[in-house]
Structure 1
């Protein structure tokens, strides 16, 4: 009987420990309220209150008087309350004065969840496609008057069958890199970046006449014609733990930097096929170093160390893009990802 009692007590203690570990923890010295200013993000603000900023949806106290509490504007007040012993973040709209005078200005925008300015070039300009898409897409064969490079306002010709014949406004992409899984060696896809927008003016057999409407770089032969990427990145994300994925790794860093730090964009070895969605958060673990045992001379791998957290902001079939939100150590290509 005593053994059963001890077992029950031990089980209760383990359950209580797990519950406390899963409970949202507040930052030391957290404020009781915070006034939103221009340039803030939801992640930044949540980090003032919570040790794990990505868990703000768990403590968000929905106010029925506010149409969309996730749209937060400069001047609004975020304040901390307690409900049934649990912390809650609530929103109080700031005062907005209206002046009876004519002025022209952009409409006030809500603050984003993450700093979109750091990933603007990867939002809608880059995409990752599979091998069959790249092979079958029409490609530029030349320009008017035998020119081999062209810019906005020029006419070029492509050869092949359009992937979507109902869309005349398409884009020209150039292969940037090939992604393969470092562990399995599988081909994950080809990253393309947009060089121009083009309007299909005519189609004769397999020859397409294209008028370039906007260019980021000069158009060259072999550039591929694809329908515009219709997906758009929202400024409001709802962070949640990412799924458990075997051999989940950082496979590249976007933007040409060698070492990875906070607010760097990275390519990940998984995508839609693994059930990953924008908003999924993963913990980053730095690969443990190999050291030589000073006694017997054996090479020993040190344990992986927690190095930060990232959030997925765009997904493709086999690859995703993520933004490093917190970095407590130097992060490198090849570091692994786990559920936070």
Structure 2
């Protein structure tokens, strides 16, 4: 009873501390900063905060800023403190003068992005994760008006399926399947944009007449069997950074670089989607499972180094739910945080994210988690 009360007391105290925690500004944070072309919101947040996703808390009492995610080149940010010592960032108005010899350039009309656009724009613009059922319903490329391997601008392609005359489409190449690492269930199919086309004739499948489209731009070779989708070019460069309001647990199931290990600024695929209530801008912790230890007669050893008898004991313990026995004790270690990431594109069952912080190299199979606020 005593141990239960102590555990409850410390849990309650910890929860109170988290709720009462105030945002802490770095000791190296500049008192004044001029937003430059090429900056990202994440870059500027990192100048001021160890946890850049808490950016909005610096603006919470600032009536000058209606949308803290919209900051422009030429804006001047000043770090101030209120009467209670709470830090705030304010937008400097009036004469924006940093020194007797330097003045701020005229403000740009385009807000800076949240993340580096050179990294995420291809995934916002050119990549879509779809179910096999949705892919099967799409029009496909049958061939071209000339038997050549490289289809060029202005060439005609013949299409099986319905297209709207004069509408613009993207031609997409089917890529790998994303699978859940535990169940091996197919989550989605990767599709990559290889060309853009404009519909010329609608065609008639019942009469055996294909539709035709004219090639406008080519990124890669167009192949028979590639699929057509309405071109999706609209996307936002700004994201509202926040922790999810609900508990989230998933895994990294793929990465863009196909390497065994990867680090900050890598693009990863998660087995979390719309059904898991994750959104663009959500910040998740990356965790790694610490290795299991078997404590046997020869002393504690990692499961990889345990002998056959110890491994058999572990298997029996897992099967019957009795991890502790006289012969050995199986220690299932906790998961430890190894980094953070931000989701920037969400599909039905998967999402794309950018790794924003790492403590050590990451791997496919690492966990991603968030606790409710």
Give TM-score, length-normalised by structure 1: 0.84
Structure 2 residue ranges without an equivalent (≥5): 1-5, 97-102, 304-330
* 1:314-325 matched pairs, under 5 angstroms: 314-325=345-356
Q: Deviation string for 1:202-222 (max 9, x for gaps)?
A: 122121111111110121111
Question: Residues 292 and 39 of structure 1: is their aligned pair in 2 closer, same or farther, counting only changes over 3 Å?
Answer: farther
Deviation at 1:157, TM superposition (A): 0.7
Residue 226 of structure 1 and its aligned partner are, at CA, apart by 1.2
- Where structure 1 has 5 or more consecutive residues not aligned to the other structure, the ranges are 1-5, 99-105
Partner residue in 1 for 2:175: 176
Check 1:16–1:173 CA distance in 2 against 1; reply closer, same or farther (3 A cut).
closer
The structure-2 alpha-carbon separation of the partners of 1:291 and 1:66, relative to structure 1 and needing over 3 Å to count, comes to closer
The structural deviation recorded for 1:291 is: 5.9
Partner residue in 2 for 1:141: 142
CA 12–283 in structure 1, closer or farther in 2 if over 3 Å, else same: closer
Deviations 1:177-210 (A, max 9, x none): 1011112322211010001111111122121111
Assess, with a 3 A threshold, how the Cα gap between structure 1 residues 61 and 202 changes in structure 2: closer, same or farther.
Answer: same
Partner Cα separation in structure 2 for residue 212 and residue 125 of structure 1: 17
Q: 1:92 to 1:252 in 2, by over 3 A?
A: same
Q: How many residues align?
A: 323
In 2: Cα distance, 1:13 partner to 1:304 partner: 22
1:150 and 2:181 matched: no
| More displaced stretch, 260-269 vs 87-96 | 87-96
Equivalences for residues 113-132 of structure 1 within 5 A: 113-132=114-133
Aligned to 1:236: 238
Say if 1:23 and 1:64 are closer, same or farther in 2 by CA, change over 3 A: closer
For residues 157 and 166 of structure 1, the distance between their equivalents in structure 2, rounded to whole angstroms, comes to: 13
Which residue does the alignment assign to 2:272?
270
In the aligned structure 2, how far is the partner of 1:204 from the partner of 1:12?
A: 67
Does the residue aligned with 2:146 lie in a helix, a strand or coil? helix
CA distance in 1, matches of 2:261, 2:341: 15
Q: Distance in 2 between matches of 1:277 and 1:10?
A: 32
Alignment correspondent of 1:222: 225
Query: Closer, same or farther in 2 for the Cα pair 1:107/1:218, shift >3 Å?
Result: farther
Alignment RMSD (CA, Å):
3.0
Contact 2:149–2:221, Cα closer than 8 Å, also in 1: no
Query: Is 2:361 the partner of 1:330?
Result: yes
- TM-fit CA distance, 1:65: 4.7
1:251 paired with 2:265, answer no
CA distance in 1, matches of 2:119, 2:10: 48
Distance 2:13 2:277 in 1: 34
- 1:256 CA displacement: 3.9
- Label 1:97 to 1:158 Cα distance change in 2 as closer, same or farther (>3 A): closer
Q: Deviations over 1:2-43 (max 9, x none)?
A: xxxx9xx989855643434x4323324433333333332222
SS of the equivalent of 1:249 reads strand
Q: CA deviation at 1:92?
A: 1.7
Instruction: Determine the structure 1 residue equivalent to 2:76.
Output: 77
Which SS does the other structure have where 1:194 is aligned?
Answer: strand
Shift in Å at residue 85 of structure 1?
4.0
Contact 2:176 2:190 in 1 (8 A): yes
**In 2: Cα distance, 1:122 partner to 1:50 partner:** 27
Question: 2: CA distance between counterparts of 1:223 and 1:41?
Answer: 36
| Residues in 2 aligned to 1:10 and 1:210: alpha-carbon distance in whole angstroms | 67
Where 2:56 maps in the other structure, the secondary structure is helix
Deviation track 1:301-328 (CA, whole Å, cap 9, x = no partner) reads 5432211111111111111110111111
Contact 1:61–1:90 (Cα < 8 Å) also in 2: no
Q: Could you say what secondary structure the match of 2:154 adopts?
A: coil
Partner of 2:370: 339
The alpha-carbon deviation at position 154 of structure 1 amounts to 0.9
